[in-house]
C-alpha cells in the first residue's frame, strides 16, 4: 500500500470546486430510472447514457471522480475506449462500487446489513487492474421506533471498516458511506442523534481496523428532517446542525466529506451544500457525491433519444456547475436561470 498515493488521490477527489458523480446504480436501480422515462434497460442503453454523462464538454471542471458499477467499469465508449481510460484522459478519477447490497439483518426486523466482504480482496485487485483508483461501500441505517439498534449500527460500522482496510491494502481510496436514511417522519433532532451514534461507531471501527484516515473519504447523509416529517427544517438549520455535529465527530485528518443527496431534490441538495460551505472554513473539504441530484433532470431530458444528447449534456453541465459553485459557498438560485 502506497500511503502517499492514497492521500494524493483522496485530496484530488475533493479538489476545490469539484465533487463526485455517483453513476454506480445497480441493475435493478438503473432499471427503475429507465422505467421512469419509458426506456428499456439494456446494456446498450445503459452504455449510451453513461457515455452521455462522461463525455459532457466542460463537466470535468466540476467533476473530480465518477463511481462506476461493475458493468460500467468494463464497458467502452462508442469508439472503443474503456470508460476508465476515457475518464482518466479527461482528468477524472474512475471509482467502483464494491458492496453487494443491503440485505435483511438476521434477528433484527426492519434493519439491514450490507454484504460483500467475502472475496472482496480479489475483486479489489481486479478493479484496480481495470483502472479504478477508489471504491465505495454503502451501509444503510433506518430510523424508526426503537431503531436503529446498537447491534445494527455496530455491525455496519465493522463491515465499513473492514472494507476500508482492504481497499487501502489494494491501493484504492475507500469512500466510507454510512447513510442514515431520510425515510420516516422523524424530525431533524432525531436524525442528528442517530447520525452522531452512527459516525462515532464508524470512526471507532476505522481506528480498530487501522485505516489511514488521510487516505479515505466520508460519504454521509446530511442532518435533515425525515421525508414524512410534517415540519421540514429549513436550509440554514440543516447546514448549521450538520456542520456542528460533524465538527464534533469527524476527525480533521479526513481530507473531505462528500455528502450523498439521498431523497433530496436537485435544487435542495445544492442549496444545502452551499449553506454549509458559507459557514466555513472547515477542517475538511465539504463536497458532494451525488447520484440522482446530478442526473435526474439530465435523464428526463435525454429520454433515450440520441437526438437529445446535446440538450441533456447541457443540463448535466449546468447541474455540475451549480454544485461546483456550492463548493465555495457561491451558489445563487439565480444561477438556475442559466439552464432555461
**For range 135-155, the mean pLDDT:** 98
Place 112 in a pLDDT band, splitting at 50, 70 and 90.
Answer: very high
CATH number of this structure's domain 3-339: 3.20.20.70
CA distance 105 to 128: 30
With a pLDDT cut of 90, the percent of the chain lying above it is 97
Q: Give pLDDT, residue 337.
A: 87
Catalytic residue among 25, 51, 177, 285: 177
Q: Give pLDDT, residue 279.
A: 98
CA distance 290 to 266: 9
Q: Give pLDDT, residue 339.
A: 62
Tens digits of per-residue pLDDT, 297-322? 999 999 999 999 999 999 999 999 99
Q: For residue 177, indicate whether it is catalytic.
A: yes
pLDDT at residue 1 above 60? no
> Which pTM does this prediction carry?
0.97
Q: Give pLDDT, residue 254.
A: 98
Catalytic residue among 179, 219, 285, 296: 219
CB distance 272 to 240 below 8 Å:
no
Compute CA distances 320 → 13, 126, 236, whole Å. 15, 30, 22
- SS3 letters across 99-144: CCCEEECCCCCCCEEECCCCCHHHHHHHHHHCCCCEEEEEEEECCE
Domains in the chain: boundaries: 3-339
CB distance 282 to 311 below 8 Å:
no
Q: For residue 18, indicate whether it is catalytic.
A: no
Amino acid at each position: 500500500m502506497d500511503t502517499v498515493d492514497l492521500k494524493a488521490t483522496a485530496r484530488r477527489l475533493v479538489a476545490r470546486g469539484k465533487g463526485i458523480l455517483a453513476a454506480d446504480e445497480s441493475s435493478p436501480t438503473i432499471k427503475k430510472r429507465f422505467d421512469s422515462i419509458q426506456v428499456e434497460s439494456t446494456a446498450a442503453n445503459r452504455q449510451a447514457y453513461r457515455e452521455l454523462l462522461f463525455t459532457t464538454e466542460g463537466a470535468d471542471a466540476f467533476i473530480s471522480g465518477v463511481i462506476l458499477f461493475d458493468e460500467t467499469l468494463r464497458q467502452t465508449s462508442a469508439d472503443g475506449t474503456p470508460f476508465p481510460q476515457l475518464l482518466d484522459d479527461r482528468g477524472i478519477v474512475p471509482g467502483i462500487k464494491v458492496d453487494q447490497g443491503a440485505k435483511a439483518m438476521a434477528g433484527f426486523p426492519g434493519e439491514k446489513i450490507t454484504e460483500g466482504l467475502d472475496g472482496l480482496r480479489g475483486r479489489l485487485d481486479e478493479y484496480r487492474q481495470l483502472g479504478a483508483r477508489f471504491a465505495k461501500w454503502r451501509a444503510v441505517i433506518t430510523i424508526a421506533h426503537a431503531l436503529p439498534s446498537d447491534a445494527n449500527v455496530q455491525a455496519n460500522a465493522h463491515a465499513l471498516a473492514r472494507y476500508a482496510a482492504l481497499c487501502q491494502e489494494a491501493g484504492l481510496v475507500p469512500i466510507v458511506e454510512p447513510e442514515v436514511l431520510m425515510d420516516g417522519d422523524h424530525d431533524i433532532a432525531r436524525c442528528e442523534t442517530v447520525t452522531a451514534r452512527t459516525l462515532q461507531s464508524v470512526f471507532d471501527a476505522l481506528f480498530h481496523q487501522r485505516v489511514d484516515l488521510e487516505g479515505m473519504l466520508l460519504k454521509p447523509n446530511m442532518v435533515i428532517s425525515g421525508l414524512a416529517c410534517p415540519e421540514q427544517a429549513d436550509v440554514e438549520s440543516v447546514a448549521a446542525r450538520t456542520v456542528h455535529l460533524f465538527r464534533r465527530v469527524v476527525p480533521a485528518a479526513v481530507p473531505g466529506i462528500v455528502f450523498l443527496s439521498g431523497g433530496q431534490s436537485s435544487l435542495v441538495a445544492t442549496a444545502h451544500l452551499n449553506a454549509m460551505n458559507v459557514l466555513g472554513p472547515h477542517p475538511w473539504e465539504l463536497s458532494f457525491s451525488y447520484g440522482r441530484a446530478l442526473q435526474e433532470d439530465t435523464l428526463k431530458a435525454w429520454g433515450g433519444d440520441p437526438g437529445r444528447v446535446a440538450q441533456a449534456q447541457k443540463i448535466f453541465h449546468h447541474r455540475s456547475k451549480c454544485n461546483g459553485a456550492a463548493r465555495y459557498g457561491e451558489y445563487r438560485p439565480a444561477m438556475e436561470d442559466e439552464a432555461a
